[in-house]
Structure 1
Amino acid sequence: MPAVRAEMRSVRRLAFGLAMGLCLSVSGVAAGVSAAAEPARKVIVDDDGFGLAQWMLLQAPGVDVLGIAVVSGDVWRDEGVAQALRGVEIAHRTDVPVLKGAVYPLLNSEKLTDRWEALYGKLVWKGAWMKQWVEPTAQGLLSYHAPDVVPDLPEGNPVTKASDESAVLFMIRKVHEFPGQVTIIATGPMTDLALAQRIDPSFAGLAKELVYMGGSLNPQQVRGDNAAAEFAREFANSPRREFNFRFDPEAASIVFRAPWKRIVSVPVDPSTATEVTPELLRRLAAANPAFADAVKRKQPGFPLWDEIAAAVWLDPKLITKSEELYVDVNSQFGAGYGDMLSWRPGYQPDMDEQKEVVVRSVDVPRLEQKIVDLLSRKLPPAKQVH
């Protein structure tokens, strides 16, 4: 009998061990399935050109760039489209559609801007309307040309074509296709977003969030020893003026009164502590030979504007200081036309302004390293261009 009982205990231990092993195996498989099923973060980029920010998002793991919309701003839309097409070619991401947005602001124009300057003083930067700098600067000047002119690109002209679908209708379609899942990262004037909201009032509410670069509160990090500080000269006397808002103030005001679930604002304030230095460009060129030639052609001396917006969306821990404010834009054609308006909670006029998380400062060394790390990631195989 003792021998039988011993044998039975042995059988029970074997059965228990097999059961536990099966449970652990199933648990491991389930965990693996859960990890594999983690959905990619969906994003649409709406910008007035193409730069490091788009490459960062295209290279980021766990991110699904649904499309790159291009609006006029720093350059005319068609030139920006060519830049974006060449950018996705270099990144081997021609699967990401490039879409044409608005050519002109809703109401503002080059002639109105010339008239405003005659009344209220010169603007530091006018984007596609820029003919010359008011003061000598370290930065070169982009060529002034008509909206339908696309100059040859330093990094080579694209061979791929833009999508036939308009950027505005694409964004509306995607937030309906993926309700509550699509982040819009807007790093240029907000003409496209305003048109989308006017065409479909449910647009903003269907998106997951809006992350934008634009506006100015009162930059306090201006360094006098870097070339990028030249872009901060006007903040000393006009601390609320910034180009993305100033190019199309009416559009920005429409966007900021729309019912977004969440808004993250990246004004120029944190960018005045940053610069695309020759050393940073060398680090980026060395990070990945696929980007090296294009990176070497980039002009140093500019702040990291759009890159901050992309980076803090990818890694909010880069933010060292932020606050919650209600935001709008002055759309009255006077001395403050296009200036950023902001209120602490409770002080806002309650004309549908939305509460925003406003980024005031970032960890600059970690930001630079983030850009280097993302660009250093291996590119997917190049796709055959037909």
Structure 2
Amino acid sequence: MPLHPTVPKPKRFSKTRKALRRTLALGLVAGGLLAASAQAKADPRLVIFDDDGFSIAQWMIIKAPNVRVLGITTVTGDVWQKEATNDALRGVEVAGRADIPVVPGATYPFLNSEKLTDRWEALYGKLIWKGVWMKKWVEKTEQPLPYYHGPDVVPDLPYGNPVKKPETERAADFLIRMVHQYPGQVSIIATGPMTNIALAQTLDPEFASLAKELVYMGGGLNPRQTRPGVVAHQFAREFLNSPRREFNFRLDPESASAALRAPWKHIVMVPADPSTDTELTPEFLKKLEATGTPVGHVMKWHLSGFPLWDEIAASVWLDPSIITEKQDLFVDVNSQFGPGYGDVVSWTPGYEPGLGERKNEVVLRINVPKLEKQILDLIGSPQAPVSGHPLP
């Protein structure tokens, strides 16, 4: 029964109502925080993987928990774009994720070419690795010579060709569309030449600013020789005299410079430096194969002796605690045709010329055992059955 308006409310009742309101308010705040926390845990991290050939790194990202791969975009680098696309199509099938779009990208660099590279070598010396333009090794090495062919040749894969077809959309358009669809949420991991990234920024000046971040493998600062007897030391030979030169940048320096000058919110650079402490050994490949998963099964066809370049970039994005040493630097790429063509140019903050360079979080060293454990755990994690042709 309501109290008479002229009768004052009992103090105890008034205090009780105030306490009740405070309790309800606190409960609503706490409930909101819990809901927000639960939502944050439930929302997957969005990522696009831009690469020049399917690798263990892409399987790591695909099989990682709480990650949604929006697509894989392909570019020419270690192999031609069509071959990289074929690899990626079969790669998502093997992972049981044929739902992931594979989007073809650029076939040629902005300006660089095979003839220009031949001319550069005649003037300034031999390159150790030239990707699709590689005809022979300069000196004896453990790895076989890659199959030299043109951009339209797609070699058969030893573990079966894909049934899945690539998207008809171009990689640059796909990248632009995704950052507009999910503004501020999309991470881009680039582990090949940056042609697609530069094209997207050229077509849409808002592209980089709408992405969450760019994590890339490319460039070098001062990579060190690995311990004696490790096969991967072969890939550190060129750094003895040319520590700033690295293949991803060297194939398309103009694109790398354009991409790195774009207005990203956050940039993580994974140069060659930490890779010289790593190696995909035959023993490690056997461990991956022993996981018994379809992805592990494919490891019997994987070549050993290579550093874990792309895998470091994937790992750093998945778990930054793997980094043991890093530094903030402003980074650009030398695009002048001369002896330093494609080399990294860097400055500590305050020394940069201020001509559009962006600050990079540069990964210098990593916890190698932690990286190897992460790869094993992810490759060995459960997955959907293989799509397309069964594995031989």
TM-score (norm 1): 0.91
Write the letter of the residue equivalent to 1:249.
Answer: P
Rounded to whole Å, the distance in 2 between the matches of 1:157 and 1:343 is 45
Q: 2:224–2:239: 8 Å Cα contact kept in structure 1?
A: no
Deviations 1:209-262 (A, max 9, x none): 000000000112522311111011010001100000000000000011110000
Q: Tell me which residue corresponds to 1:156.
A: 160
Q: 2:224–2:236: 8 Å Cα contact kept in structure 1?
A: no
Q: Does 1:252 align with 2:256?
A: yes
Question: Compared with structure 1, are the counterparts of its residues 347 and 154 closer, same or farther at alpha carbon in structure 2 (3 Å cutoff)?
Answer: same
Structure 1 residue corresponding to 2:343, chosen from 339, 345, 355: 339
Q: Tell me which residue corresponds to 1:204.
A: 208
Unaligned runs of 5+ in 2: 1-22
Q: 1:284–1:372: 8 Å Cα contact kept in structure 2?
A: yes
Rounded to whole Å, the distance in 2 between the matches of 1:288 and 1:258 is 43
Q: Does 1:94 align with 2:98?
A: yes
Q: 1:271–1:308: 8 Å Cα contact kept in structure 2?
A: yes
Rounded to whole Å, the distance in 2 between the matches of 1:62 and 1:341 is 36
State the shift of 1:292 in Å: 2.9
Q: Does 1:108 align with 2:116?
A: no
Q: 2:183–2:210: 8 Å Cα contact kept in structure 1?
A: yes
Rounded to whole Å, the distance in 2 between the matches of 1:254 and 1:88 is 30
Question: Compared with structure 1, are the counterparts of its residues 347 and 71 closer, same or farther at alpha carbon in structure 2 (3 Å cutoff)?
Answer: same
State the shift of 1:155 in Å: 1.9
Deviations 1:97-151 (A, max 9, x none): 0010000000000000000000000000000000010000011122000100001
Q: Tell me which residue corresponds to 1:40.
A: 44
User: How do 1:1-386 residues align onto structure 2 when only pairs under 5 Å count?
Assistant: 34=38, 38-382=42-386
Unaligned runs of 5+ in 1: 1-18
Rounded to whole Å, the distance in 2 between the matches of 1:210 and 1:241 is 21
State the shift of 1:160 in Å: 1.1
Over aligned residues, Cα RMSD in angstroms?
2.1
Q: Tell me which residue corresponds to 1:13.
A: none
State the shift of 1:51 in Å: 0.8
Question: Compared with structure 1, are the counterparts of its residues 28 and 176 closer, same or farther at alpha carbon in structure 2 (3 Å cutoff)?
Answer: closer
Q: Tell me which residue corresponds to 1:8.
A: none
Rounded to whole Å, the distance in 2 between the matches of 1:330 and 1:384 is 44
Q: 2:213–2:267: 8 Å Cα contact kept in structure 1?
A: yes
Rounded to whole Å, the distance in 1 between the matches of 2:137 and 2:225 is 23
Provide the secondary structure at the position in 1 that maps to 2:183.
Answer: coil
Q: 1:221–1:269: 8 Å Cα contact kept in structure 2?
A: no
Q: Percent identity over the alignment? A: 61
State the shift of 1:36 in Å: 7.7
State the shift of 1:288 in Å: 3.3
Write the letter of the residue equivalent to 2:179.
Answer: V
Q: 2:73–2:104: 8 Å Cα contact kept in structure 1?
A: yes
Greater mean deviation of Cα atoms: 224-233 or 320-329: 224-233
Question: Compared with structure 1, are the counterparts of its residues 335 and 277 closer, same or farther at alpha carbon in structure 2 (3 Å cutoff)?
Answer: same
Q: 1:326–1:342: 8 Å Cα contact kept in structure 2?
A: yes
State the shift of 1:39 in Å: 1.1
Q: 2:294–2:386: 8 Å Cα contact kept in structure 1?
A: no
Q: 2:93–2:388: 8 Å Cα contact kept in structure 1?
A: no
Write the letter of the residue equivalent to 1:323.
Answer: Q
Number of equivalences: 365
Rounded to whole Å, the distance in 2 between the matches of 1:45 and 1:358 is 19
Provide the secondary structure at the position in 2 that maps to 1:287.
Answer: coil
Rounded to whole Å, the distance in 1 between the matches of 2:388 and 2:139 is 46
Question: Compared with structure 1, are the counterparts of its residues 240 and 199 closer, same or farther at alpha carbon in structure 2 (3 Å cutoff)?
Answer: same
Rounded to whole Å, the distance in 1 between the matches of 2:168 and 2:203 is 19
Write the letter of the residue equivalent to 2:315.
Answer: A
Write the letter of the residue equivalent to 2:187.
Answer: T
Rounded to whole Å, the distance in 2 between the matches of 1:126 and 1:384 is 33
> Runs of at least 4 residues of structure 1 off by over 3 A?
26-33, 381-385
Q: 1:211–1:313: 8 Å Cα contact kept in structure 2?
A: yes
State the shift of 1:383 in Å: 5.2
TM-score (norm 2): 0.89
Write the letter of the residue equivalent to 2:148.
Answer: Y
